[in-house]
Structure 1
């Protein structure tokens, strides 16, 4: 029984030993298979066979060095179109991807206030032009009257000198005829002066009527503005109806005046300037009538904000018209006084010529000689006064120059307002494609805020970031290889700009590379640019000497007659050669054929070196 038990124990131990040996041999085979090696029996070789191998010596050689940097593709010409003013966006006429032409409207801002400013500037220009026109008229009148006064004063002096000569020397028949002619001329001048006074009275009356009309228009404009701002009442509607009737009556009066004076203007009885003023009054009456009609219509329909602003503008224009009308009254009163004075002067001249004729016919007495001498003295004083009064022409001329300067200023303000108005219409700076739309209707735009981004699709560039350690090897005009992964294409680009300042945070420079025309190329794609950074030395072996097991790389190094496995780290590749960064030394021998049949420590025979 005991012998049986010992026998069983021995049998079990023998079985376990056999299993262990088999497992060990299986592990060896598995390792050989995992490493790419095959057992000698599968290679058809006996255990004693020695593989024949070719080897090369590890060499240090110099090869070109390249560096790859990444970047983003952008359009060569990109514009973030923004507004120069603050305003509400009322319309956006483009969408992302739309093609636009240079000058095409992209965005429209609210321009109601800017339009009101333009209209106000235009009104200021018109008011200044009207004031300048009146000043020019006054200057011409003053200049004409001054010249007339001087001529009359000189004529009176000459007449006084002739009269003095007559009373001293007596008269001849020819002198009597001259005296008679002088009386006839003086009488004609007196009649013309009387007619001029009548015309001046009419002009003054019309000017005063113009003031009344302007005051009525101003009051109507103010009432209209008040009604727009406060709402309408029954009495206000009644006032509007009364204003309409008054405007209609004023229009009839202006039309009648026009019809009465038109034949006189065609016959040359009145001056063109006078007829132009009558035409202007008729046009003003028509405008007031239309304004009154519009006011009645607005009372029934209600008012919008822009109509209220227009009413405020109408009040300002009515105030300007009233000032102009009052200025016309002043000018008419001045002209009336001057024409009355001219009438008196003509009357005095008539009396003097009549007295002179009497002296010519009757002869002179001592008293008449003294009177003639006194008249000469007075005529000389009158000439001095007329010459002194001529300086008023300079004052009027200075007023004209001042108004001309104000007119230029008004035109400049109008131009500024028009420029500001143009800023509300945002246009494309060049032809291209809308890459980004930043706003929608209802948004507020502010100066410098991008509204639409427009790009030129005809030319693209790659913007890469290059570290400061490599920027010294980058040259303008250098040709570089650019890989565009999204398009699976590699193209040649050329460096055309190196931004001369580095990013202080990343210590990198922006290098811009111009790209050729590539189908489907778009802004925002990823790109890689490969730069040549010079040459460097390294240890290189043929690529076929490298074996790979999973993530490991290595070679077989032959020492004497034995091949040993050596794990290495590889780097650059150049013309079939692979750089070995770690694991080898220069001059060592590596196997270049049959590495799949070798195992670590295999005896080999070198047949080619």
Structure 2
């Protein structure tokens, strides 16, 4: 009898343990709690404000081409003689006029060459004067029959050689004077100094770039456009460009096309007029928008989309009640934003400001 009671007690204990475990499993599974569909939460208050019925809209898909601002007129000022740089008269960012002196080189060696060339010309000119006199006397003596024809030929040859030497020395003098002028370097165009490539005390060599200047009044936007798009554009065609650094957007015309395609990228280099801005600088990043295709999508005003943490949501009106609907957004089109998911055509959304407690 006692053994039977012990068996019954064991079975009751096991049943009680099983019942407790089942209750715990049911509790944690959430069967006893109320569920709300993910992404949707209904406000209890009745909404009586302005609404908007969502519809499909045509969305023009644009192909964005990266590019940059370039200077149509730019130049590098180079040295034309070998000389030490004496001083720079401008720095990066300075504005210069055409013909303005920007660099001065050491002139001592060049002035010395000019003086030597002048001395050489004077010496040869004196010798030529003496040879002319000798030739004239020789002709007089030959007419009197006092000297032979050979003497006349020698005097003539000496005169002609000296005359040629004088002409050569005069050309050398002219070259030395021109080289001296090259010691004063002037701006070839009016514009703004971009960069200095040397400093006073450095030795400048012929052809060495010393200064870069560009004309800020003649800027362009340059893009490498793929062949399929480039061949549809004609000179004068207006296209949308943007410069993010300046928050600048404008429709500008196509002004130049390089008549050769890049075989590697299969693109053509195209240049558009730059929008007017005093802050525009060469090298700034630019984008070109080219129409690619059109598709249907849902567009809503940006102010109708609310932030909830890092998520975006809209307020959907259903039977007079507000539902908070989380959505995934796409591109911005004409101050409207595309809703990729979470909102369907035909649904109604609230367009007025919502309560602060979301």
TM over 0.5: yes
How far apart, CA to CA, are the structure 1 residues paired with 2:286 and 2:82?
39
Structure 1's 404 and 462: CA in aligned 2 closer, same or farther, altered over 3 A? same
Q: Please identify the structure whose Cα radius of gyration is greater.
A: 1
1:472 aligns with 2:231: yes
Match of 1:78 in 2: 74
Q: In structure 2, which of residues 130, 134, 137 is the aligned counterpart of residue 138 of structure 1? A: 134
- The CA deviation at 1:25 is 5.9
- The CA deviation at 1:552 is 9.5
How far apart, CA to CA, are the structure 1 residues paired with 2:333 and 2:243?
22
1:449 aligns with 2:208: yes
Secondary structure, aligned partner of 1:95: coil
Structure 1's 501 and 579: CA in aligned 2 closer, same or farther, altered over 3 A? farther
Match of 2:346 in 1: 592
List gaps (5 residues or longer) in structure 2.
47-52, 314-324, 351-358
Secondary structure, aligned partner of 1:524: coil
Report the structure, 1 or 2, having the larger strand content.
Answer: 2
- The CA deviation at 1:88 is 3.1
Match of 2:353 in 1: none
Structure 1's 414 and 391: CA in aligned 2 closer, same or farther, altered over 3 A? same
Structure 1's 520 and 103: CA in aligned 2 closer, same or farther, altered over 3 A? same
Structure 1's 26 and 131: CA in aligned 2 closer, same or farther, altered over 3 A? farther
Query: Superposition pairs for residues 498-577 of structure 1, below 5 Å?
Result: 498-503=257-262, 506-532=265-291, 536=293, 538=295, 540-543=296-299
Contact 1:459 1:517 in 2 (8 A): no
Report the structure, 1 or 2, having the larger helix content.
Answer: 1
Match of 2:321 in 1: none
Deviation by residue 1:216-273 (Cα, 9 ceiling, x = unmatched): xxxxxxxxxxxxxxxxxxxxxxxxxxxxxxxxxxxxxxxxxxxxxxxxxxxxxxxxxx
How far apart, CA to CA, are the structure 2 residues paired with 1:451 and 1:416?
23
Query: Superposition pairs for residues 224-303 of structure 1, below 5 Å?
Result: none
For the aligned residue pairs, the C-alpha RMSD in angstroms reads 4.5
- The CA deviation at 1:129 is 0.9
Deviation by residue 1:21-58 (Cα, 9 ceiling, x = unmatched): 7x3464622xx3x412438xx488xxxxxxxxx897x8
Match of 1:408 in 2: 167
Contact 1:544 1:593 in 2 (8 A): no
Structure 1's 487 and 91: CA in aligned 2 closer, same or farther, altered over 3 A? same
- The CA deviation at 1:420 is 3.0
1:422 aligns with 2:181: yes
Q: In structure 2, which of residues 23, 39, 47 is the aligned counterpart of residue 35 of structure 1? A: 39
Match of 1:495 in 2: 254
TM-score (norm 1): 0.44
How far apart, CA to CA, are the structure 2 residues paired with 1:475 and 1:454?
31
1:107 aligns with 2:103: yes
How far apart, CA to CA, are the structure 2 residues paired with 1:433 and 1:393?
66
Contact 1:89 1:110 in 2 (8 A): yes
Match of 1:327 in 2: none
How far apart, CA to CA, are the structure 1 residues paired with 2:54 and 2:63?
32
Secondary structure, aligned partner of 1:497: strand
- The CA deviation at 1:466 is 2.5
Higher relative contact order (CA 8 A, sep 6+): 1
- The CA deviation at 1:409 is 1.4
Structure 1's 463 and 544: CA in aligned 2 closer, same or farther, altered over 3 A? closer
Match of 1:116 in 2: 112
Structure 1's 112 and 27: CA in aligned 2 closer, same or farther, altered over 3 A? farther
Secondary structure, aligned partner of 1:592: coil
- The CA deviation at 1:132 is 1.2
Aligned length: 321
Structure 1's 488 and 568: CA in aligned 2 closer, same or farther, altered over 3 A? closer
Q: In structure 2, which of residues 211, 219, 222 is the aligned counterpart of residue 460 of structure 1? A: 219
Structure 1's 523 and 17: CA in aligned 2 closer, same or farther, altered over 3 A? closer
Match of 1:129 in 2: 125
How far apart, CA to CA, are the structure 1 residues paired with 2:291 and 2:164?
68
